[in-house]
Chains A and B, each alone.
Chain A
Amino acid sequence: MAALTPLLKARGLKRHFGGVKAVDGVGLDLGPTGVHALIGPNGAGKSTLVGLLSGRITADAGIIEFAGRDITRLPAHARVRLGIAYTFQVTSIYPRLSVEDNVTLAVRHPSGDVTTAARAALARVGLDIHARQIAGDLSYGHQRLLELAMGLALTPRLLILDEPTQGLAAGEIAGFSALVRDVARDASVLLIEHNMDVVMDLADRITVLDFGRVLASGTPDAIRKDRAVQAAYLGA
């Protein structure tokens, strides 16, 4: 995998908010498949970093390449069309539309059967039986799964998940992990996650962020053993 050109390559990314160096010179390589976890304490800059990658936040400096193309100046919606899907840390759905209509909006291929594709995405997260319900009436955990289904319906090459298991019940997390593993077979998954069991279970690689900088990056084993990480984050 290392020999392949990375799907996404970021160098020297920087974004400051006033005096806060939210992201301060971060580089990142993501392969075409597999799960790459992004961890770090609260306020480390994880959401800001994925905001830069997805285009929701503009970078002060640095470059981002996706599939060999410079996307640094591309607006967010154009990046989505290239195959970068993003799920929000704070659930963002259409609460007044039906569950099915939420997902249908994400299905893009103009030919094929939109409804079938939407139903398939809902089935993957186990929400197909709620298709007709109003999205705002779903439980919080189900709303998170709905957002994941919208991400799947985009059929992305890179799926960015910002704390997807927050608010899921223990039983739902197992199903979620299986789903992410399945997606990561033919797409790249960038996963921000506080639940270390989930991270260690899913991640092929881990990048640790602290004060807007990369503290360490490597395999789960290497990260577990890393002294600096233990001191700063794993808090052992």
Chain B
Amino acid sequence: MTGGVRVWALHLAVLVALALAPLVVPPYHATNLARIMVLAVFAMGYNIAFGYTGLLSLGHALLLAAGMYATGLLVAHGGWTAGPALLAGALAGAGVAFVVGLLALRTTGAAFMIVTLMFAQAGYLTILYFGDLTRGDEGFTLAREARTLFGLDLVTDATRYSAALALFAAGLIGCLLLVRSRTGRVLVAVRENSERTRMLGYDPFRARLLALTLSGLYAGTAGAAYALLFGYVGASFATVQYSVLALLWVLLGGAGTVLGPLVGTLVMFYLVDFAGNLTDATLFVVGAALILLILFARTGLLGTLRARALAWLP
């Protein structure tokens, strides 16, 4: 098999496995998987910025929330239907990322982390400030009848799963196309050696802004889909916790690998789930897992696999 065929075969096999999963796993896990796939889209977006371009943002919750609130508010208060609202949510994520990027990308390293964190904090406070509309921390739910997309009822388990899978598949294929394209290679070049990349004729600022905007598109879409599929919009998604979760999912699965975000989100979800059965201190289990990761698989699960055995993994 040539490199390209092997890569596509693997990723399509993962999508097929996800499509077949509801036939073999109990409904409880199918609902979990739908949630994991939507959150994995958020993580894939984070991976484009952090994993491939080297932008360590602590503000991605803002982008997730931008999509979630744009869609949620338009449906709940604007009377929009799900389709246009989903599109608006995706564009809100990309738009906010673009504007934040114009300002935040003037900084690098620790300063970039702090600036993105501050933007996200401002976003969170804005949601609380407009409590009449957003109902603050408590959040709001979307009416059942509003949650239909192209005539499909997103509330039933089977269609919800299919919608989550379709979204995830689009995200995964988009990410694979990106990282295998020339643009994707330039993003990696910026991450690896920004000054050298500038002296090869590429504008590192533009490359970073593009990566951040695409990242926002993914995050906004994930937030919008979450609102429609699970019917809930809440300020907790705008807290720093979700920025850190995206980072952790990507680190766990393998930063700079296409499937890493899915693997990381999946493993972390079930780790917390499993820990919840044993103890109330689930964060302790998560912390222990991260320490093990740093000690034994610093490049994440798939990053380690790539280094040990599968050098061709994109």
**Residues on A close to B: CB < 8 A?**
54, 56, 75-78, 80-81, 85-86, 88, 92-97, 101, 104-106, 108, 150, 154
In the assembled complex, the Cα of A165 lies from the Cα of B188 at a distance in Å of 29
Of A78, A94, A106, the contact of B192 (CB 8 Å cutoff)? A94
B203 near A150 (CB under 8 angstroms)? no
Contacts A93-B193, A94-B193 given; does A80 touch B185 at CB 8 Å: no
The 9 A-B residue pairs with the shortest CB-CB distance in the complex, in nearest-first order: A80-B201, A92-B196, A94-B192, A81-B201, A77-B203, A77-B198, A106-B200, A86-B199, A77-B201
Of B185, B200, B203, the contact of A75 (CB 8 Å cutoff)? B203
B185 near A105 (CB under 8 angstroms)? yes
Within the complex, the shortest CB–CB distance from B254 to chain A, in Å, comes to 15
B189 close to A (CB within 8 Å): yes
B138 close to A (CB within 8 Å): no
Of B197, B203, B204, the contact of A105 (CB 8 Å cutoff)? B197
Smallest CB gap from A114: residue in B = B182
In the assembled complex, the Cα of A76 lies from the Cα of B197 at a distance in Å of 11
Q: Which chain A residues lie closer than 8 Å to B199 at the CB level?
A: 54, 56, 76-77, 80, 85-86, 88, 92
Within the complex, the shortest CB–CB distance from B66 to chain A, in Å, comes to 30
Q: A-facing mask of B168-201, CB < 8 A → 1, else 0?
A: 0000000000000000011011001101111111
In the assembled complex, the Cα of A75 lies from the Cα of B205 at a distance in Å of 12
Within the complex, the shortest CB–CB distance from B229 to chain A, in Å, comes to 39
Q: How many residues of B contact A (CB 8 A)?
A: 16
Within the complex, the shortest CB–CB distance from A115 to chain B, in Å, comes to 12
In the assembled complex, the Cα of A200 lies from the Cα of B293 at a distance in Å of 57
Q: Which chain B residues lie closer than 8 Å to A86 at the CB level?
A: 199
Q: Which chain A residues lie closer than 8 Å to B195 at the CB level?
A: 56, 92
B189 near A77 (CB under 8 angstroms)? no
A76 near B189 (CB under 8 angstroms)? no
Chain B 141-170 interface residues, beta-carbon cutoff 8 Å to A = none
Of B185, B192, B197, B200, the contact of A154 (CB 8 Å cutoff)? B200
B196 near A80 (CB under 8 angstroms)? no
Within the complex, the shortest CB–CB distance from B186 to chain A, in Å, comes to 7
Within the complex, the shortest CB–CB distance from B131 to chain A, in Å, comes to 45
B201 near A92 (CB under 8 angstroms)? no
Of B196, B201, B202, B204, the contact of A94 (CB 8 Å cutoff)? B196
In the assembled complex, the Cα of A81 lies from the Cα of B203 at a distance in Å of 11
Name which of B188, B196, B197, B200 has the most chain A CB atoms within 10 A of its CB: B200
In the assembled complex, the Cα of A97 lies from the Cα of B185 at a distance in Å of 10
In the assembled complex, the Cα of A56 lies from the Cα of B201 at a distance in Å of 12
In the assembled complex, the Cα of A154 lies from the Cα of B199 at a distance in Å of 10
In the assembled complex, the Cα of A97 lies from the Cα of B311 at a distance in Å of 12
Within the complex, the shortest CB–CB distance from A163 to chain B, in Å, comes to 16
Chain B 189-224 interface residues, beta-carbon cutoff 8 Å to A = 189, 192-193, 195-204
In the assembled complex, the Cα of A93 lies from the Cα of B203 at a distance in Å of 17
19 of the cross-chain contacts (CB-CB < 8 Å) are: A56-B198, A56-B199, A76-B198, A77-B199, A77-B202, A77-B203, A78-B201, A78-B203, A88-B196, A88-B199, A92-B193, A93-B196, A94-B192, A97-B188, A97-B192, A105-B189, A108-B201, A154-B200, A154-B201
A101 near B185 (CB under 8 angstroms)? yes
In the assembled complex, the Cα of A101 lies from the Cα of B184 at a distance in Å of 13
Of A54, A78, A94, A95, the contact of B189 (CB 8 Å cutoff)? A94
In the assembled complex, the Cα of A105 lies from the Cα of B192 at a distance in Å of 12
A150 near B200 (CB under 8 angstroms)? yes
Smallest CB gap from B198: residue in A = A77
Q: Which chain B residues lie closer than 8 Å to A78 at the CB level?
A: 201, 203
Q: Which chain B residues lie closer than 8 Å to A81 at the CB level?
A: 201
In the assembled complex, the Cα of A106 lies from the Cα of B201 at a distance in Å of 8
Q: Which chain B residues lie closer than 8 Å to A150 at the CB level?
A: 200
Within the complex, the shortest CB–CB distance from B312 to chain A, in Å, comes to 12
In the assembled complex, the Cα of A93 lies from the Cα of B196 at a distance in Å of 7
Q: Which chain B residues lie closer than 8 Å to A94 at the CB level?
A: 189, 192-193, 196
In the assembled complex, the Cα of A88 lies from the Cα of B198 at a distance in Å of 12
Chain B 291-307 interface residues, beta-carbon cutoff 8 Å to A = none
Q: Which chain A residues lie closer than 8 Å to B200 at the CB level?
A: 77, 80, 105-106, 150, 154
In the assembled complex, the Cα of A75 lies from the Cα of B199 at a distance in Å of 10
In the assembled complex, the Cα of A88 lies from the Cα of B202 at a distance in Å of 16
In the assembled complex, the Cα of A157 lies from the Cα of B143 at a distance in Å of 64
In the assembled complex, the Cα of A88 lies from the Cα of B188 at a distance in Å of 20
In the assembled complex, the Cα of A150 lies from the Cα of B198 at a distance in Å of 13
Within the complex, the shortest CB–CB distance from B212 to chain A, in Å, comes to 18
In the assembled complex, the Cα of A236 lies from the Cα of B235 at a distance in Å of 76
Within the complex, the shortest CB–CB distance from A16 to chain B, in Å, comes to 22
Q: Which chain B residues lie closer than 8 Å to A154 at the CB level?
A: 200-201
Q: Which chain B residues lie closer than 8 Å to A96 at the CB level?
A: 192
- Additional A-B contact list (6), CB under 8 Å, known A78-B203, A80-B199, A97-B192: A77-B201, A78-B201, A92-B195, A92-B196, A94-B192, A105-B185
Smallest CB gap from B189: residue in A = A105
In the assembled complex, the Cα of A173 lies from the Cα of B222 at a distance in Å of 56
In the assembled complex, the Cα of A92 lies from the Cα of B202 at a distance in Å of 15
